[in-house]
Amino acid sequence: MTWTSNKILFLFFLLAISLISCVEKFPYYRGDTLVMSQSIATRPTISGCQVSYSINITGVQNASAINGWIRSSFSSFAQAGTYLQFIERTGGSVVLNVIFREQDALPYSTTPGVFAFRNYTLGTLEGNTLTLNRDYAWTEATIRKAVMYHLGLFLGMPPNQQDAASIMSPLLTINPSATVLTTGDIASLKTLYPQTLPITITGRNAVVNPRGTLFTVSLQNPQKFLIKEVGISWTDEFGNTGTVNRSLNGSIEVLSQTYQVLSLQPNRTYTCRPYIQTECQTIMGNAFVLRTPSSGSWNNLGSLPFSERKGSTVITTPELWGSAYIIGGELAGGQTTNEMWQFSAQTNSWQIRKAFPGAVRTGAVGFAIGTKLYYGLGNAPNLLASQLRDWWEYDTSTDLWTQKKDYPGTLRSMASAFSYQSNGLVTLGITWTPSGSNSLFGSYNRTTYRYTAGNDTWSYVGDSPINVAFPIGSFRLKGAGFILLTNREFWRLDLQSASWNSLASFPTDIVINQTQPVAITAGTSDAVAINTNGFFGLSAFINNANPSYLKKWWQYSMLNNTWTQLPGSTIDNRHNCITFSLGEKIYILGGQHTTQGGGLTNLRDWWEYNP
């Protein structure tokens, strides 16, 4: 071989070495070269709805273009119609870091997350960092393929060995059409991250008053996404809108919140929807409709869930949207019951609770302190047997009765009782004593006793100035009890000092006494801050077998100590009703109707009155 030939061979060798070196440092894609990702494992779906990322492209040639291509890769995922948001940040902590490092820092590996060109590593996904080869001659297609494939793995999408067009195919390609999410890719992504966050939210309302209601919003958030705000919005038929909400800023799995709204308008139809605000979306719950009643309206609520009865004791809990407990009473057949029923204004429903375990009775009294009811006294079924002095506590949270210390004062029934803070007052009523053979004498009881629940004690606090009548109805407002007597006198009892004040008498010329059953007596709740009125109705005056029903309805104003006659009730004629008030509503249950000739019909319907 001549020197010239040797020279040519040497030059050819140098050129080959140079080409190999270039290929090793800057390999170029050839269509017949198979480039595989060796990642076979996927990450679990990420928590939260925001995928924040950063791009560190220091020292990379063509950095501006590559930076734009990487952003476009994230944008392709952002436009896939999932609940995910992709947000680039230049500082602080992020969910995914995209960085570039030199080839020597990326040794060949077969561990998941490696994107390799033969023995040449283009990128690795380790933890929350995607590392790309800074020395590779990236094109738009190759950088999008590398970023989008590994982003898919990061989000939990599996590799797709069957579809070469899928962005999750391990094949590297410079075909631009293969660097977009296919229909199959989008379906796979939406399986993991649907369009709406997987949070269930429901709403409902309690009993509706002319001016408002109590809304309840419940949600289930099993993946514990960050919830910023929870609320409910409404629109009436005239386009007026309103919203009530609370800031949350927490990742609570299960939540139920109530919202008191007293700004609605009477006689309106409202379409309401609960909602939650997350980092990424506002999620609307089920729509429901409520109708506010007209002020002064009477509404028939249908049939009661229990049998007809009279003489029951009603205890209402102090909160605005609380409960009424109907205890005992005399059934239509004359037998006495110990049943107890609860009406919840919050759920607008009835529920039977544990029966009273003491002796059956009528004319008992009771009041509520916190979550406890206190109940006792009254008449045994046979008045000649005895009046009763036992006293009981009922825990509304556990549905359990516990006997407490007996009432120590003079026995009484048909008394008035009120609670105030942690105490309760029992006052007035009738004390029955034997008077000859098989007869009784009733005397008016003037004493007042205070019961302190904390230490289960009774104390005498004084006599009332009343000695010629007994209560036929009462209500509580602003720390005082208001009592209407059979002689039409009307009194105020200060529940803290136990002092008495005479008020304007009930304005009717009808004589009321214990043998003439007048019904419908109730007042609005002390829980409504703006309430300053109470209501009484006179439903029946019975004159032997010739009943005369009067549907008069009166409002008392405690601000100026006056009575105002309102339009009469529209309910059927009745007396011996069970009555109570919750919030701004008055409820009238059952009762009896006497016909000409003295026939008696027991009633089972119930009504509401909206002041």
Q: ∠ at Cα 38 (37, 39), nearest 5°?
A: 90
pLDDT tens digit sequence for 226-285: 999 999 999 999 999 999 999 999 999 999 999 989 889 999 999 999 999 999 999 999
Name the β-bridge partners of 291: 269
Reduce the secondary structure of 439-488 to three states and give it as a string.
Answer: CEEEEECCEEEEEECCCCEEEEEEECCCCCCCEEEEEEECCEEEEEECCC
Residue 91 has a pLDDT of 85
Residues of CATH 2.60.40.10 domain(s) within the chain?
A: 200-291
Rounded CA-CA distance 554/534 in Å is: 8
Coil, strand or helix at 91: coil
Residues of CATH 2.120.10.80 domain(s) within the chain?
A: 297-610
Q: ∠ at Cα 370 (367, 374), nearest 5°?
A: 30
Cβ-Cβ contacts under 8 Å for 414 (sequence gap 6 or more): 363, 429, 430, 470, 471, 514
Residue 174 has a pLDDT of 55
Say if residues 115 and 123 touch (Cβ distance below 8 Å).
yes
What is the mean predicted confidence (pLDDT) over 54-83? 94
Residue 340 has a pLDDT of 98
The CATH number of the structural domain formed by 26-192 is 3.40.390.10
What is the mean predicted confidence (pLDDT) over 447-462? 96
Residue 15 has a pLDDT of 45
pLDDT tens digit sequence for 425-436: 999 998 887 766
Residue 22 has a pLDDT of 37
Residue 540 has a pLDDT of 57
Name the β-bridge partners of 45: none
Residue 95 has a pLDDT of 92
Residue 518 has a pLDDT of 47
| Helices 63-78 & 140-155 angle (0-180, nearest 10) | 40
Say if residues 353 and 399 touch (Cβ distance below 8 Å).
yes
What is the mean predicted confidence (pLDDT) over 205-216? 89
* Single-letter residue type at 440: L
Q: What percent of the chain has a predicted confidence (pLDDT) above 90?
A: 50
Residue 443 has a pLDDT of 85
pLDDT band at 310 (very low <50, low <70, confident <90, very high): confident
Say if residues 92 and 57 touch (Cβ distance below 8 Å).
no
Least confidently predicted of 47-56, 285-294, 368-377, 551-560: 551-560
Rounded CA-CA distance 418/173 in Å is: 83
What is the mean predicted confidence (pLDDT) over 445-455? 95
Reduce the secondary structure of 346-412 to three states and give it as a string.
Answer: CCCEEEEECCCCCCCCECCEEEEECCEEEEECCECCCCCCCECCCEEEEECCCCEEEEECCCCCCCC
pLDDT band at 460 (very low <50, low <70, confident <90, very high): very high
- CATH classification for the domain delimited by 297-610, as one of 1.10.940.10, 3.40.190.10, 3.40.50.300, 2.120.10.80: 2.120.10.80
What is the mean predicted confidence (pLDDT) over 533-540? 73
pLDDT tens digit sequence for 69-103: 999 999 999 999 999 999 999 988 999 999 999 88
Rounded CA-CA distance 156/170 in Å is: 15
Coil, strand or helix at 149: helix
Residue 97 CB burial class (10 angstroms; 0-12, 13-18, ≥19) = middle
Least confidently predicted of 9-13, 250-254, 308-312, 540-544: 9-13
| Helices 140-155 & 183-192 angle (0-180, nearest 10) | 30
Least confidently predicted of 167-181, 338-352, 549-563: 167-181
Question: Which sign, positive or negative, has the C-alpha torsion 126, 131, 137, 139?
Answer: positive
Rounded CA-CA distance 458/410 in Å is: 13
Least confidently predicted of 23-27, 549-553, 573-577: 23-27
Q: Is the confidence at residue 473, as pLDDT, over 50? A: yes
Coil, strand or helix at 151: helix
Coil, strand or helix at 48: coil
pLDDT tens digit sequence for 521-534: 556 555 555 677 88
Phi/psi of residue 11, nearest 5 degrees: -65, -40
Residue 30 has a pLDDT of 32
Residue 34 has a pLDDT of 34
Rounded CA-CA distance 248/238 in Å is: 31
Cβ-Cβ contacts under 8 Å for 22 (sequence gap 6 or more): none
pLDDT tens digit sequence for 325-379: 999 998 988 889 999 999 999 888 999 999 999 999 988 999 999 999 999 999 8
Calculate the CA dihedral of residues 241, 608, 532, 293 and round it to 10 degrees. 20
Say if residues 55 and 70 touch (Cβ distance below 8 Å).
yes
Rounded CA-CA distance 491/599 in Å is: 35
Strand order through the sheet with 562-566 = 521-523, 533-543, 546-557, 562-566
Q: What percent of the chain has a predicted confidence (pLDDT) above 70?
A: 81
Q: Which residue has the higher pLDDT, 21 or 570?
A: 570
Rounded CA-CA distance 369/421 in Å is: 7
Average pLDDT, the chain: 84
Other beta carbons within 10 Å of 166: 22
Rounded CA-CA distance 521/536 in Å is: 5
What is the mean predicted confidence (pLDDT) over 525-553? 66
Q: Hey, what are 1's tokens?
A: 């071989």
Residues of CATH 3.40.390.10 domain(s) within the chain?
A: 26-192
Name the β-bridge partners of 325: 315, 342
Question: Which sign, positive or negative, has the C-alpha torsion 67, 68, 71, 77?
Answer: negative
Q: Which CATH architecture has domain 200-291?
A: Sandwich (2.60)
Residue 177 has a pLDDT of 58
Rounded CA-CA distance 19/6 in Å is: 20
Rounded CA-CA distance 100/54 in Å is: 12
Reduce the secondary structure of 493-534 to three states and give it as a string.
Answer: EECCCCCEEEECCCCCCCCCCCCCCCCCEEECCCCCCCCCEE
